[in-house]
């Protein structure tokens, strides 16, 4: 492990109460960011222009966001239990879910042309097509807290079960496999598909980075600070995976071989959450203090 000093540019997108939370790059090459406490979606254009779009409920809790197969952005509304959609022009709509109080959180675009999402409070994985039709897949667990979700190299959906300390795999046909993690109280959250065709995830409870192959082999890498609370993770164009350390105010990277580097953020207690690579190849990080940080390549 090494820690290096790098340059960050901080781009204000809101006040400290709005809560920039998750990021994705849209089909328009802009960065799209959820403002979880303000009920808004922000768009940061490549030329630096910032637009903020208010949703129909300021308390809907927009959480994770992804590009959909229809050229729009799709996101979870964790507090009013809906799935949201916003066009690149800023027109927003939303869809209700069959299970009341489901608490959708993670969302990913899949190879079947639909969006798949987790339901934290009802132990379900959901699927929504671009017309708004929803199918739900109940999990054989109670209180598992399904969190982040991603498409794997096998086209299946891979997701974290935060309170069951488990990684799940769900096929399009509903075939489910659960992989219990070796470390107790690992509490996995973010998950991504790495350049090495494995799934990489963070263990917020144990301060570790995990890796699981499609045949279920798990490796865990302890981070130098067990209390750093890694939160989100994304695969980078450099072949490494990049993650936020929410409890330590840092960004980390890990190579496929397991070498970790860490980078201190410039503002103290900035609460880094989601992160994404922009169309310019730079890494962008959502900071809850109201800023998107751009890490100089």
Mean pLDDT by 10 residues, the chain (297 residues): 76 96 98 98 97 98 98 98 98 97 98 98 98 97 98 98 98 97 97 98 98 98 97 97 98 97 96 97 97 89
**The pLDDT of residue 6:** 81
> Does the annotation count 273 as an active-site position?
yes
Paired tokens of 296: 């100089």
Give 10: exposed, middle or buried? Use CB within 10 Å, 0-12, 13-18, 19+.
middle
Distance CA 8, CA 162 (A): 31
pLDDT for 21 equals: 98
Are 27 and 55 in contact by the 8 Å Cβ rule? The answer is no
| Residue 179 annotated in ligand binding | no
Tokens of 105: 């959180």
Q: What is the 3-class SS of the chain, one letter each residue? A: CEEECCCEEEEECCCCCCCEEEEEECCCCCEEEEECCCCEEEEECCCCCEEEEECCCCCCCEEEEEECCCCCEEEEECCCCEEEEECCCCCEEEEECCCCCCCEEEEEECCCCCEEEEECCCCEEEEECCCCCEEEEECCCCCCCEEEEEECCCCCEEEEECCCCEEEEECCCCCEEEEECCCCCCCEEEEEECCCCCEEEEECCCCEEEEECCCCCEEEEECCCCCCCEEEEEECCCCCEEEEECCCCEEEEECCCCCEEEEECCCCCCCEEEEEECCCCCEEEEECCCEEEEECC
Q: What is the pLDDT of residue 296?
A: 79
Tell me which of 37, 81, 165, 273 is the catalytic residue.
273
> Domain residues for 70?
2-295
Please report, for the domain that includes residue 225, its CATH number.
Answer: 2.130.10.10
The domain total for the chain is 1
Residue length of the chain = 297
Residue 220 and residue 235 in contact, taking contact as beta carbons nearer than 8 Å: no
Query: Is 89 labelled a binding residue?
Result: no
Residue 220 annotated as part of some ligand binding site: no
Backbone dihedral angles phi then psi of residue 40, each to the nearest 5 degrees: -135, 160
Two structure tokens written together for 193: 């598909």
């Amino acid at each position: 492990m090494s820690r290096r000093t790098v340059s960050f540019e901080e781009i204000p997108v809101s006040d400290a109460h709005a809560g920039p939370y998750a990021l994705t790059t849209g089909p328009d090459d802009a960065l799209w960011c959820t403002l979880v406490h303000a009920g808004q979606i922000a768009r940061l254009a490549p030329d630096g222009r910032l637009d903020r779009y208010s949703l129909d409920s300021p308390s809907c809790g927009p959480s994770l966001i992804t590009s959909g197969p229809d050229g729009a952005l799709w996101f979870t509304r964790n507090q009013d239990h809906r799935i949201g959609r916003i066009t690149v022009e800023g027109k927003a709509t939303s869809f209700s879910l069959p299970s009341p109080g489901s608490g959708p959180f993670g969302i990913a675009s899949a190879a079947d042309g639909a969006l798949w999402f987790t339901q934290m409070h009802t132990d379900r994985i959901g699927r929504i097509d671009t017309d708004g039709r929803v199918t739900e897949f109940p999990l054989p667990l109670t209180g598992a807290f399904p969190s982040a979700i991603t498409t794997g190299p096998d086209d299946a959906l891979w997701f974290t079960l935060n309170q069951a300390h488990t990684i799940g795999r769900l096929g399009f046909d509903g075939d489910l496999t659960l992989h219990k993690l070796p470390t107790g109280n690992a509490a996995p959250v973010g998950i991504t598909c790495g350049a090495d065709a494995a799934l990489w995830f963070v263990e917020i409870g144990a301060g570790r980075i995990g890796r699981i192959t499609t045949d279920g082999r798990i490796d865990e890498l302890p981070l130098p600070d067990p209390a750093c609370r890694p939160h989100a993770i994304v695969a980078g164009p450099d072949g490494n995976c990049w993650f936020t350390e929410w409890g330590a105010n840092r960004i980390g990277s890990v190579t496929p071989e397991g070498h970790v580097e860490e980078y201190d953020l410039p503002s103290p207690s900035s609460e880094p959450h989601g992160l994404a690579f922009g169309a310019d190849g730079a890494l962008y990080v959502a900071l809850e203090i109201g800023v998107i940080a751009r890490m100089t390549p």
